[in-house]
Structure 1
């Protein structure tokens, strides 16, 4: 599988470059990193791991990444997808918010193409979730690209106050509603960029105020600029 640039789908994102370095960042997605040639380093707030071949990074976990002249590929998984839920429940439930690099996760990386192929048939609703949050997830996923969806609108949809909705969403999904909205905005913007649109046009189409807002949000989530990440 050759990935020349960042490609974000509904439930996952793929990214690969031979040389890649990020600042400290955290993102909504669970991240699987694997290296078929060379190795990579990851730093957290408490540890530095060098010469790694595989790593599994929990959602919202601050880290810094570096690889030089290595064949590294990163698979970002939506924690609310079936495979995201499976990995969380199987590997991350007792991880105490630390990256996993032990041998127990290595088999995850032996058949990555099959994992990615199956993601297109993945469904978010095969695990138990409050129906009001399920309605919000569906609304966020299916909102037209140029529409700015607010928490107030979602609270009216769910018949909950904004504060109660925010609390229940975090309780049911493990992430904040704002993060989930931003993840979907970035997904839409990247999709536009990959179709040849400029960063400015893509940012506006996805509901960002301007390209600066998109750049800042992207950097905070991926640790590098969208220009670098999307460059072939």
Structure 2
């Protein structure tokens, strides 16, 4: 997928850009400053996961995520400063925000600092819908890497222990604002195939044949068009949908085993294996003791 960048210097006024940091290759990891919460409290902040109408948000601390790729575009924002990011086989970059399209391999190094991670599903928009959130950006390996980006709202959501009460409206408004500046929409035939996936029961494996019928296309044509539009294959996106269902169950209070079965995984080990493959880190790192 080739991103059409917004005009140079064009940054949405709603954004609260962080101080600019130089974007460039790093031979050695930078020395991190300790994160200082704007609302100090004796109890550590717990990870925030929220899935709502095609928008998935994670906010919390991470360490290092090995190379991985997602089934949906993702917007990343460092909540206290820059973080290290590697796209494909390119050199490591230091950035404050980034947009990574679906299917683009990348690695993260947060060194225990907090980050927000926002995914949107095709029913909401594609990578172009998130591009305006990244400021002072350059393109690296098909991704946008920015010295600034939308961080103020994300940090507030992370630090407000009651943010589950208002996170849905806030993320919906943010994405809607960004999407008005997007320059490309998803092919309607691919949208119909995705609707079949998302409306199926969790334990039902939707075949590409069924999806092709809903799209009004041959199987081969749907597979080609799906990969072209989405950046990932039909099969990979199907696995992504199942993974989100499991995460949603855990965020609602289910155990890993309960969530795995509810989403259609064979068992907890199957879920754990796929989670590490999808996110580059164990599920226990970000899904333990989440806010509910």
Long gaps (5+) in structure 2: 1-44, 158-168
In structure 2, relative to structure 1, the CA distance for the partners of 1:200 and 1:88 (3 Å cut) is same
Q: Which residue of 2 aligns with 1:129?
A: 187
Aligned pairs for 1:77-226 (under 5 A) are: 77-78=120-121, 81-82=124-125, 84-87=127-130, 95=139, 97-103=141-147, 106-112=148-154, 116-118=171-173, 127=185, 129-130=187-188, 132-226=189-283
Residue 24 of structure 1: how far off its partner (Å): 1.0
Deviations 1:121-162 (A, max 9, x none): 799xx93624x4332121111112222222233234445443
Of residues 52, 59, 73, the one that matches 1:30 is 73
Q: Which has the larger radius of gyration?
A: 2
In structure 2, relative to structure 1, the CA distance for the partners of 1:90 and 1:46 (3 Å cut) is same
**Contact residue 11 and residue 119 of structure 1 kept, 8 A:** no
Does the residue aligned with 1:59 lie in a helix, a strand or coil? coil
Q: Which residue of 2 aligns with 1:49?
A: 93
Residue 165 of structure 1: how far off its partner (Å): 2.2
TM-score w.r.t. the length of structure 2 is: 0.64
Residue 120 of structure 1: how far off its partner (Å): 8.3
Long gaps (5+) in structure 1: none
Cα distance in 2 between the residues matched to 1:200 and 1:111: 33
In structure 2, relative to structure 1, the CA distance for the partners of 1:101 and 1:84 (3 Å cut) is closer
Residue 74 of structure 1: how far off its partner (Å): 1.8
**Contact residue 32 and residue 56 of structure 1 kept, 8 A:** yes
Cα distance in 1 between the residues matched to 2:284 and 2:112: 20
In structure 2, relative to structure 1, the CA distance for the partners of 1:54 and 1:119 (3 Å cut) is closer
Cα distance in 2 between the residues matched to 1:107 and 1:64: 19
**Contact residue 78 and residue 151 of structure 2 kept, 8 A:** no
Cα distance in 1 between the residues matched to 2:201 and 2:146: 42
Question: How many residue pairs align between the two structures?
Answer: 224
Cα distance in 2 between the residues matched to 1:36 and 1:57: 17
Cα distance in 2 between the residues matched to 1:75 and 1:159: 31
Of residues 40, 50, 54, the one that matches 2:83 is 40
**Contact residue 86 and residue 107 of structure 2 kept, 8 A:** yes
In structure 2, relative to structure 1, the CA distance for the partners of 1:177 and 1:88 (3 Å cut) is farther
Say yes or no: does 1:6 pair with 2:49: yes
**Contact residue 77 and residue 150 of structure 2 kept, 8 A:** no
Say yes or no: does 1:74 pair with 2:117: yes
**Contact residue 246 and residue 262 of structure 2 kept, 8 A:** yes
